[in-house]
Amino acid sequence: MNEPAKPPFPKQKQPMPGKTDAMEPVPDHGEKSYRGSGRLAGKKAIITGADSGIGRAVAIAYAREGADLLIADLNEHDDAKQTEKLIKDAGRKAVLVSGDVQNADHCRGIVKKALSELGGIDILVNNAAHQATFESIEDISDDEWELTFKVNIHAMFYLTKAAVPHMRPGSAIINTASINSDIPNPTLLAYATTKGAIQNFTAGLAQLLAEKGIRANTVAPGPIWTPLSLRRCLRMR
């Protein structure tokens, strides 16, 4: 994906959660560069936050490797439709589900939809996240702190708990953490705290699921040019 823009940042104002097409420069998710080789042929995957950013890049790669996908977004319908088209252009099935993953019932509904529309779950990618920047701890409201935990770590628990009973040996759970897990940015206190929790959740989960033959791993990216990073850049100006 493209490197994030460096100061001075292009003039761009977007409300949360942000739109891909409105970004300058527009990110490269591998639309033109990624070529698959059938490594996920016949697999069924759920990817949260798959409308844009890391989630869209994963969706493109998975589809071109042969997987059918359920892509979950909050309310970025235009971005989700673009991801859907890219999946279908790769010859794979795409199921769209919009809604707020901080809601436990919605998370369980995502899993049920994958089972009914895809016929199973081989891979769960917990990628959706909320991030906001604050210069002082006094500026972080109780609601903001709780929202960050509900979206970033509670949803991961809800989705995993619902999916595991339907996953066979050889299945995989992939959780998106962050460089902030190990090197927390002080202006991202709530976000960084949840990302540290994700690393511990995944380390424990991997041990818990080993006897079932299900793998659990984290990916901890650094800065990536997505609507999430864009919002942080704008807040830091």
Inter-residue contact 125 to 58 (CB < 8 Å)? yes
Considering Cα of 86, then 109, then 48, then 117, what sign does the dihedral take?
negative
Nearby residues of 204 by Cβ (< 8 Å), 6 or more positions away = none
Inter-residue contact 70 to 109 (CB < 8 Å)? no
Coil, strand or helix: which one is 95?
strand
Distance (Å, whole) CA 96 – CA 77: 9
158 is catalytic: no
Report residue 227 as tokens: 């609507």
Nearby residues of 123 by Cβ (< 8 Å), 6 or more positions away = 40, 43, 44, 45, 46, 62, 67, 171, 172, 173, 174
Amino acid at the residue 173: I
DSSP-H helix ranges across the chain: 53-64, 77-89, 104-118, 142-149, 155-163, 189-209, 227-236
Catalytic-labelled residue, pool 34, 62, 158, 191: 191
For residue 99, what are the CA distances in angstroms to 46, 57, 69, 159?
14, 20, 17, 13
Positions marked catalytic: 191
